[in-house]
Amino acid sequence: MINVANLKKRTTADIAKRIVQDIPDGAHVNLGIGQPMTISNYLPPDREILLHSENGLLGMGPLATGDQIDHEIVNAGKQPVTMLPGASIFHHADSFAMIRGGHIDICVLGAFQVSVNGDIANWRTADPSAIPAVGGAMDLALGAKKLFVMMEHLTKSGESKLVSKCTYPLTALAAVDCIYTDLATIAVTENGLEAIDWVEGLSFADLCKISGVPMTERKK
């Protein structure tokens, strides 16, 4: 099997840009804490994509830098952000009414594990020292019309985050639509996982071996 260390993996920026390709104009998109929040930096200016933050902001722009920083204007991860023209600020309860009411088109979350049928575990591992923090992930995973996952393909110990069955506490069942990693883009379909694209130098056969779960190749 190929040595993953020799591959040119996608950077966080690469993954973010790949996700943006699959977001249609006019979409209302929520970005989860962690890697997904970087997506706000890579939205083309000619695209109309409305970013929603669960703490009560619609029309969020890129992460703030320098003189743009206002510590009263932050995303759900408490990072200072900018606001695009026409942006609005509202109560936390109204924000969750948008989420639970099915008004968010796409949510992008990080994950510890995703199963072949789209179950997601993203709020707690087996580490007893870690503080469990589900936040609004359960609401977002079930309330958004589509759920994208942005994550590294393997754990630090080299284990695949794609699994037959999640062993960590679940966030939601059969909720994930597409998985974007540093090695590949993989759709979750009614027939199982379907590889859409993967990094140069990696064959489909090796992708399957690295992932440790069955998947098919999308016909081009």
> Measured between alpha carbons, how far is 178 from 187 in angstroms, rounded to an integer?
4
- CA proximity to 23, closest of 54, 52, 63: 52
- Residues whose CB is less than 8 angstroms from the CB of residue 162 and which lie 6 or more positions away in sequence, other chains included: 113, 114, 115, 116, 153, 179, 186, 193, 211, 212, 213
Structure-block tokens of residue 53: 């933050």
The H-or-E segment that residue 98 falls in is helix 92-100
- Give φ, ψ of 13 to 5 degrees: -65, -40
- Residues annotated as catalytic are 54
Cβ neighbour number for residue 80 with a 10 Å cutoff? 15
